[in-house]
Structure 1
Amino acid sequence: MGDIAKGVLGGGWSLLVGWILPTAINLGILAITMGPSLRQVPVANQIFTASPGAKALLLLIASVLTGLILNALQVPLYRVLEGYLLWPARLYARRSRHHRKRRSDLADVLTRTRRARRSAAERMQSAGTAQGPPTPDGEAPPAPDPRNEVLTATQQALLGERLARYPVQDDQVTPTRLGNAIRRLEEYGYDRYRLDSQVLWNELTAMAPEQARRQVDTARTSVDFFIALLYGHTVLVAMALCATSVDSADPPVLLGTAGVLCALCPLWYRAAVAATDEWAAAVRALVNLGRHPLAQAMGLDLPQDIAEEREMWRMVSRMSRSRFHDRAVALNRFRSPPGMGEPR
């Protein structure tokens, strides 16, 4: 039982919550809203006239199989929403320019509001130490309230959160909000340490602490859940519109279902984008905590100087993603003596 529990709470839990559960929700919506309209279809009629136990078993089997298929197809499913797959070149370029401008505007607004808050705080502090001329009734003039002039600290934090969902470099910006939110966690290791976490992902996850790996899997599960819901709703909308042509169809119910699901799709997309915040934090911890044991496992001596460390990881990443070149012997100066592995 202990091994089964560990399996469920490990990778199996991510599969169950991330893909099978939303698939079961979508199949339940299909059975409740479209089932009566599909009774003229022979296969559907046999399903809906079966016993409750048989229906529950069939729903479970269909949810598991469909969830496994979606899990196997998660790379192309993600890439469509990230803007990497099935996007025309012109649309890709136009939307990327739009998000680069949006990122720049957010950075400008955040900078201005921070300066305004500092100026307002300084004015309020100076007003408290040196009061101005008294008012006609003999009271000192009130100090200016920075909240009346600039954004509050909470509003600034939310603005910074939106800006943080973009990659650091302009050339890394993608045409979709989800693509940018995921790209910022993919570029973290390379931007800070020149460690290409996408190339060295298997090595990094193999050597990182178990808690850090578990946090990454758990955080991604939330994003998977909303992505699966989004794709399932899209399929259900298409089925509802097609089912209106069936003789036994109930157009008001089908159209109403399609309308509600269409309204929910943007909500699930925004929820997926917001859920990447926890995913990005987990990947950040994975890189920060895993790069030291990774260097030791690869027989490298982690330099004390950050510039030297960045140079080491740059060479390691380059050697991992391309063929060997004689210039790679420069990595020898970072290699640990046999039997050693402690940082210098």
Structure 2
Amino acid sequence: MGDVAKGVLAGAWTLLVGWILPTAVNLAVCFFAVVPSLRHTVPFSRLWPTTGVNVTLLLLTGAVVVGLVLNALQIPLYRILEGYLLWPAHVYTIACARRRQEKWDLQDRLRLLRLKRQLRARGRLPVLARADLTRLTQHSRIARASRTDSGRTTAQRGLLREKLARYPVDDEQIAPTRLGNAIRRHEEYGYDHFRLDTQVLWNELTGTAPEQLRRQVDLARSSVDFFVALLAGHAAVISAALAALASTGDRPAVLIITAAILGFLIPVWYWCAVSATDEWAAAVRALVNTGRSPLADGLGLVLPATLTDERAMWSLVGKFSRLPYSERAAALNGYRRVPPAETP
């Protein structure tokens, strides 16, 4: 009973922090900055609270209800911000190409810094490394960025590696937005390293993993949820402020200032959401690295001794889970756990 209670409380906490709290902030801003311009219009004139207690109850109730609705709509919200939903095809293609070029530029900048450091330490470079150094120093965009990178401290150069780590390893997995790439990197981690398709086997993986690992993933994701809900709510409040400005014209200065401040904060929260994915990615990486053995045991399989065999096994498990049954699935028999012999 205690484990059930802890699970419920953990889920309630992530829901509260990730969706209800930012919704309460947005509703408060909307109520005090936007709604007074509409208080004399129907239906606001009928619903307008008459006491402070009524205001508090209205905000609390609205925060819970709207927060639950946003939580239910989190998949389309994320897909819009990741660039998978409501993006025109040509815009999607152009944005992916831009993100891919940004990744390549970061790789080249770090490569140039590394080659310069090796040249200073050794006094000379191998032939291929010298060719790389010449190519990169002659590249106008990389050379221009290198002049700034050369003055960076070790910690600042580490931030460049951190930015590069927010891209998926496979260039074919590049998404059109920075948030999409920051999330995609941990979605592809299991498949890239072990051929474990975590997108297909997510429920099985989290269902067999230790509670602490699942808790870490949920807490890390709630930080990203918080900023996603905050910026989505800001967009709704801005729309309401502009609609009120166009319809009533009452308190125009307050409405314009509110829309301007929230519009300025949206990219800030977006950057915070991208940065918060670092902890989420680390939690998923830990879940994959240490949760594979319980997952294999839960599926009735024995984890192979070699990484090559393990990658082959998880590839078969992924195909078995997402594709209709085929006789080729019999290849999994070589990895199945032998049942204990029955006692006579």
**TM-score normalised to the size of structure 2?**
0.88
Alpha carbons of structure 1 residues 3 and 29: separation in structure 2 relative to 1, 3 Å: farther
In the alignment, what sits opposite 1:234? 235
Alpha carbons of structure 1 residues 47 and 30: separation in structure 2 relative to 1, 3 Å: same
**CA distance, structure 2, for counterparts of residue 68 and residue 6 of structure 1:** 20
**CA distance, structure 2, for counterparts of residue 203 and residue 162 of structure 1:** 31
In the alignment, what sits opposite 1:211? 212
Q: How do 1:33-44 residues align onto structure 2 when only pairs under 5 Å count?
A: 33-44=33-44
**CA distance, structure 1, for counterparts of residue 86 and residue 75 of structure 2:** 13
In the alignment, what sits opposite 1:161? 162
Q: Does the Cα contact within 8 Å between 1:37 and 1:246 map onto a contact in 2?
A: no
Q: Deviation of residue 49 (structure 1)?
A: 4.1
Q: Determine whether 1:22 maps to 2:19.
A: no
Question: Structure 1 runs of 4+ off > 6 angstroms?
Answer: 1-5
Q: How do 1:236-251 residues align onto structure 2 when only pairs under 5 Å count?
A: 236-247=237-248, 249-251=250-252
Q: How do 1:188-199 residues align onto structure 2 when only pairs under 5 Å count?
A: 188-199=189-200
**CA distance, structure 2, for counterparts of residue 276 and residue 149 of structure 1:** 28
In the alignment, what sits opposite 2:260? 259
In the alignment, what sits opposite 2:133? none
**CA distance, structure 1, for counterparts of residue 212 and residue 313 of structure 2:** 26
SS at match of 2:301: coil
Q: Deviation of residue 237 (structure 1)?
A: 0.7
Q: Does the Cα contact within 8 Å between 2:238 and 2:262 map onto a contact in 1?
A: yes
In the alignment, what sits opposite 1:90? 90
**CA distance, structure 2, for counterparts of residue 273 and residue 21 of structure 1:** 19
Alpha carbons of structure 1 residues 37 and 80: separation in structure 2 relative to 1, 3 Å: same
In the alignment, what sits opposite 2:144? none
**CA distance, structure 2, for counterparts of residue 248 and residue 3 of structure 1:** 55
Alpha carbons of structure 1 residues 5 and 50: separation in structure 2 relative to 1, 3 Å: farther
Q: Deviation of residue 148 (structure 1)?
A: 10
Deviates more, 1:322-331 or 1:241-250: 241-250
Q: Does the Cα contact within 8 Å between 2:95 and 2:177 map onto a contact in 1?
A: yes
Q: How do 1:240-319 residues align onto structure 2 when only pairs under 5 Å count?
A: 240-247=241-248, 249-319=250-320
In the alignment, what sits opposite 2:322? 321
Q: Does the Cα contact within 8 Å between 2:178 and 2:274 map onto a contact in 1?
A: yes
**CA distance, structure 2, for counterparts of residue 242 and residue 263 of structure 1:** 19
Amino acid at match of 1:64: V
RMSD: 2.0
Q: Which runs of 5+ in 1 are unaligned?
A: 124-146
After superposition, what is the alpha-carbon deviation per residue over 1:159-202, rounded to whole angstroms, capped at 9, x for unaligned? 00000000000100011111100000100000000000000000
After superposition, what is the alpha-carbon deviation per residue over 1:101-131, rounded to whole angstroms, capped at 9, x for unaligned? 11111011111112222333456xxxxxxxx
After superposition, what is the alpha-carbon deviation per residue over 1:234-293, rounded to whole angstroms, capped at 9, x for unaligned? 011111111013446111110111011100000011110000000000000000111001
**CA distance, structure 2, for counterparts of residue 82 and residue 46 of structure 1:** 40
Alpha carbons of structure 1 residues 152 and 203: separation in structure 2 relative to 1, 3 Å: same
Q: Which runs of 5+ in 2 are unaligned?
A: 124-147
In the alignment, what sits opposite 1:68? 68
Q: Does the Cα contact within 8 Å between 2:113 and 2:150 map onto a contact in 1?
A: no
Amino acid at match of 1:331: L
Q: Does the Cα contact within 8 Å between 1:20 and 1:68 map onto a contact in 2?
A: yes
**CA distance, structure 1, for counterparts of residue 97 and residue 3 of structure 2:** 50
Amino acid at match of 1:66: V
Alpha carbons of structure 1 residues 60 and 3: separation in structure 2 relative to 1, 3 Å: farther
SS at match of 1:244: helix
Alpha carbons of structure 1 residues 188 and 239: separation in structure 2 relative to 1, 3 Å: same
Aligned residues with identical type, % of pairs: 55
Deviates more, 1:106-115 or 1:208-217: 106-115
Alpha carbons of structure 1 residues 284 and 53: separation in structure 2 relative to 1, 3 Å: same
Matched residue pairs, number? 317
Q: Does the Cα contact within 8 Å between 2:149 and 2:157 map onto a contact in 1?
A: no
**CA distance, structure 1, for counterparts of residue 19 and residue 150 of structure 2:** 47
Alpha carbons of structure 1 residues 190 and 148: separation in structure 2 relative to 1, 3 Å: closer
Higher helix share: 2
